[in-house]
Chains A and B, each alone.
Chain A
Amino acid sequence: NAGVMQNPRHLVRRRGQEARLRCSPMKGHSHVYWYRQLPEEGLKFMVYLQKENIIDESGMPKERFSAEFPKEGPSILRIQQVVRGDSAAYFCASSPPFGGAGIFGPGTRLTVL
């Protein structure tokens, strides 16, 4: 079991471009959560998804950000028209159907130039 996988590990974008971050949950986990971590800060919840459903997106900015977890394939966090303030580490976590602590991936470090 390879654990939670995220790619790319590092992503550099210029202002105005799009960023796509991918997360493959652990085998047997059906719940995916995305968190953002700014330098020297804690983890802020963004969005919670199950297959083909967004369960809670209360932490995700309403503009430019979107997330999906299709029936097949990884979960994707998409940031359109990136700005410098989007530079952060984005972590995905997954958990099994019965809940509990999430298992985190290694993160994607987004740098916006």
Chain B
Amino acid sequence: QQQVKQSPQSLIVQKGGISIINCAYENTAFDYFPWYQQFPGKGPALLIAIRPDVSEKKEGRFTISFNKSAKQFSLHIMDSQPGDSATYFCAAVSGNTPLVFGKGTRLSVIA
């Protein structure tokens, strides 16, 4: 019930392409869905987040799509750049309970 399943485990995208990472959850009590970006040797940085009453949220090149009925959400990175190469984690949370993380996706953007 507390799991968040993330795919793919790794992703290689050409510069300028679209990177898509998918997550699915089971617990309908989750009410906030953040994405984190982590570079090697650094802490996770909050990238973008969405609440379940919204189907899409866009910030610059980053978009979250949310499908409440399917209990799925995804991160789209438009015009992917080599500087986007990092590990991305989706997460889900309910109120003040601890974040439940997906296992992460290692993105490599190649020129």
Contact = CB atoms under 8 A, between A and B. Distances in A.
Interface of A: 4, 31, 33, 41-43, 45, 48, 55-56, 59, 91, 93, 95, 97, 99-107, 109
Contacts of A104: 36, 43-46
Contacts of B99: 33, 43, 45, 93, 101-102
Given A42-B103, A107-B43, A101 B34 contact: yes
Interface of B (DSSP majority class)? loop
Interface residues of B, number: 24
A100 B93 CA distance: 7
12 contacts: A4-B43, A41-B104, A45-B98, A48-B96, A48-B97, A56-B97, A99-B95, A101-B32, A104-B43, A105-B43, A106-B42, A107-B43
